[in-house]
Amino acid sequence: MAVSMGAAWHPMMIQCDPTQQPMHIEGMSLTEGMTSVRLAERFNLLQQFDAHFRDGAKSSAIEELGRMDQKAFDVLHSDASRQAFEIERESAALRDNYGRHKFGQSVLLARRLVEAGVRLVQVNWPRAEGDENIGNPLWDTHQNNAARVRDVLAPQFDRTFATLIADLQSRGLLDETLVVAMGEFGRSPKINASGGRDHWGSCFSVVLAGAGIGGGQIVGTSDRLGAFPASRPVHPPDLAATIFHFLGVDPAAEFVDPIGRPRRVTDNGQPLKELTGT
């Protein structure tokens, strides 16, 4: 979607380890030898060059680039932006509840960003030490699925997810925040020769919470093996339409991409009435 909408909508990719303090965010701190005064002087000089250039070449693309430069400079100089990343401001007890592992602290950081006004935050499950060269990195459990899910993955996810929901609720943020937990596909219903499960796209689960969604609902069922939908199948366009609905975007709307082509927000997806109440 961001690619279709143009560079102004590209996400800011952050690679960091919130378990390490102080946390370093690339692009959010001044390089060695650079002071705030020098940075401001450089930005002022850039604006002068840009103004001179724009006088001779009127272009909406150039104007948009200038606005993006200004936003980037404002973020770098904003106390609120820097404070949002200062996860050490949280109590030790709350950090413990989220989990002192990289996933738990990343989700806590996501909550701080939401609280600071960031409208969309995605947390990717991080690779743990030793995950690079084994056959079951992250949730890609091609080997030893049962033990890895039981002893490592599920305990981390369950505690962190539950803490996030409770934390958002206690701060009055849950009703206006949509929380989505999902992967890109499921795991095969049959165990392979290595005691693992392989890629499986026919049936898997997604969790949605917040944004006014009534809790405790299950939409659709699988067969007894968890291999295929047995009732009320939900297709990817419907999930996308549901998410856009809660974000306040009409799933049937169209927009024009950077080269002038009309594009639909979703491919005929329909929001799930069980969740939207409409």
Instruction: Identify the H or E element spanning 97.
Output: helix 92-98
User: At 12, is the pLDDT very low, low, confident or very high (cuts 50, 70, 90)?
Assistant: confident
Which residue in 246, 222, 220, 224 sits closest to 234, CA to CA? 220
Can you tell me the distance from the alpha carbon of 251 to that of 249, in angstroms, rounded to the nearest whole number?
6
**What confidence tens digit (pLDDT) does each residue in 100-148 have?**
999 999 999 999 999 998 899 999 999 877 666 676 789 999 999 999 9
Domain positions in the chain:
35-77
The residues pairing with 264 across neighbouring beta strands, listed in sequence order, are 254
Taking residue 78's Cβ as centre, other Cβ atoms within 10 Å add up to: 13
Taking residue 236's Cβ as centre, other Cβ atoms within 10 Å add up to: 13
User: At 13, is the pLDDT very low, low, confident or very high (cuts 50, 70, 90)?
Assistant: confident
pLDDT at 2: 54
pLDDT at 129: 72
Can you tell me the distance from the alpha carbon of 227 to that of 202, in angstroms, rounded to the nearest whole number?
7
Helix (H, G, I), strand (E, B) or coil at 98: helix
Long-range contacts of range 219-225, CB-CB < 8 Å, 24 or more positions apart?
Answer: 219/272, 219/274, 219/275, 225/189, 225/190
Q: What is the DSSP letter of 89?
A: G
Q: Which residues of 10-46 are buried (b: 16+ CB within 10 A; e: fewer)?
A: eeeeeebebbeeebebeebeeeeeeeeeeeeeebeee
**What confidence tens digit (pLDDT) does each residue in 38-83 have?**
877 887 887 787 777 666 666 676 677 777 777 766 666 677 777 8
Can you tell me the distance from the alpha carbon of 260 to that of 117, in angstroms, rounded to the nearest whole number?
31
Instruction: Identify the H or E element spanning 145.
Output: helix 145-148
pLDDT at 221: 96
